[in-house]
Structure 1
Amino acid sequence: MPGQPSTDPLVPHAFIASLPNILTGVRLVLVPVFLVLLFVGDGHETFWRIVAFAVFSVAVITDRFDGALARSYGVVSEFGALADPIADKALIGSALIGLSMLGDLPWWITGVILLREIGITILRFMVLRHGVIPASRGGKLKTLVQAVAIGLFVLPLHNWPGIWLTVAWVIMWAAVVLTIVTGADYVVSAIRNSRGRSAGN
């Protein structure tokens, strides 16, 4: 009857199937919002840096949720496998560039991380015809550590006890190491996958 909720079991399933992609889209929308907040005033106003951190955290949380939903309900798609890491890189990349522009993070760290992320994204498209290579556990850990490290640098650490800045640097160094190691691992996996598909043809 009109006005009655649908009892069709396909309706909630269809919504759940599209939810991971919706969350990915939300994360992309939050990127410019985060950047605007990061640069409010002189870029070092305590209140706005905390607000920027909150938006950054929400964006990171959507990444945790969309991946978990996709795996739990078996709705992993090629679009999600490609769009999700692109959304991650847009968020992480914009945050790194913003922090370097503000003088809070050395440009060489931003360069190393972005070079790896852009290179792997290009490689994903190059090997697409051989099938999508999903993110490894190491890659997921790398993304998490990067997010934590960047989140700490987004916070107004200059107004807090020095121990927090030390913690932020320790985690950032761990992120740089994981970035390099997982990047090399992905290249090796892509080469093996490409050779394996070629041998099977």
Structure 2
Amino acid sequence: MSGQPQSGPAVPRVRVANVANLLTGIRLVLVPIFLLALFAGNGHETSYRITAFVIFAVAVITDRFDGSLARTYGMVTEFGKLADPIADKMLIGAALIGLSMLGDLPWWVTVVVLVRELGITVLRLAVLRHGVIPAGRGGKLKTLVQAVAIGLFVLPLHSWPSPWLTVAWVIMWAAVVLTVLTGIDYVVSAIRDSRERSAGR
């Protein structure tokens, strides 16, 4: 016996270049394409708005797939845990700002959502040296409800029967409430983790 400590089997590192991260990259690329379609024409032409909705929907679907693939096939990386929520925020932020610029969504909705999202992003970066805090179930539900609400507003509701606009606003209100509540929960969790780390020193 050499007396040197025995090292266990090496844990294989997950490659950053994997399918899950590729889908996250595709979502980032779709953001400017979505904006081009949203503002095409006068910004309110039915065909262009439907095209923008399809692009937005595809981007949202990639978010559902990349997370599932990463967890199922062991492709979770620190890059993915950080880039995935940033890609979500870029897509949601671009859509909200675009809709507000077109006059289809009040600016207060956009401001409330973006302040929360930017604040949480800054918080994620601040605690990055201690490890990435992954999105919880509440955050994922928030993102889904936001996506449904925004998707409805991207559609040409002005040419649809009035009940659809009411449905869109009900879901948007739910998205705003979830946005605020999950933001508070994330901050509380970050503070609690920070205190636990300090107590463990």
State percent identity of aligned pairs.
77
Deviates more, 1:126-135 or 1:22-31: 126-135
Instruction: Please tell me the residue identity of whatever aligns with 1:164.
Output: W
CA contact (8 A) 2:15 2:75 kept: no
d(CA) in 2 for partners of 1:191, 1:131: 14
1:17 and 1:73 in contact (8 A); partners too: no
Name the residue aligned to 2:41: 41
Aligned counterparts of 1:16 and 1:80: Cα–Cα separation in 2? 8
Deviations 1:39-82 (A, max 9, x none): 00110000000000000000000000000001111221111111
Shift of 1:29: 0.2
Please tell me whether residue 111 in structure 1 is matched to residue 124 in structure 2. no
Q: 1:80 to 1:170 in 2, by over 3 A?
A: same
Q: Which runs of 5+ in 1 are unaligned?
A: 1-13
Would you say the 8 A contact 2:34–2:52 is kept in 1? yes
| Equivalent in the alignment of 2:84 | 84
Structure 1 position 84, deviation (Å): 0.3
Q: 1: distance between equivalents of 2:73 and 2:186?
A: 26
- TM-score using structure 1 length: 0.91
Q: Does the alignment pair 1:174 with 2:139?
A: no
Moved beyond 3 Å, runs of 4+: 14-17
Aligned-partner SS, 1:41 = coil
Moved more, 103-112 or 127-136: 127-136
* Alignment root-mean-square deviation, CA: 1.3
Q: Give the secondary-structure state (helix, strand or coil) at the position aligned to 2:177.
A: helix
Report the Cα distance in structure 1 between the residues aligned to 2:61 and 2:16, rounded to whole angstroms.
17
Bigger fraction of residues in helix: 1
Q: Which runs of 5+ in 2 are unaligned?
A: 1-13
Tell me the equivalent position of 1:20. Answer: 20
Give, in whole Å, the separation in 1 of the partners of 2:106 and 2:16. Answer: 41
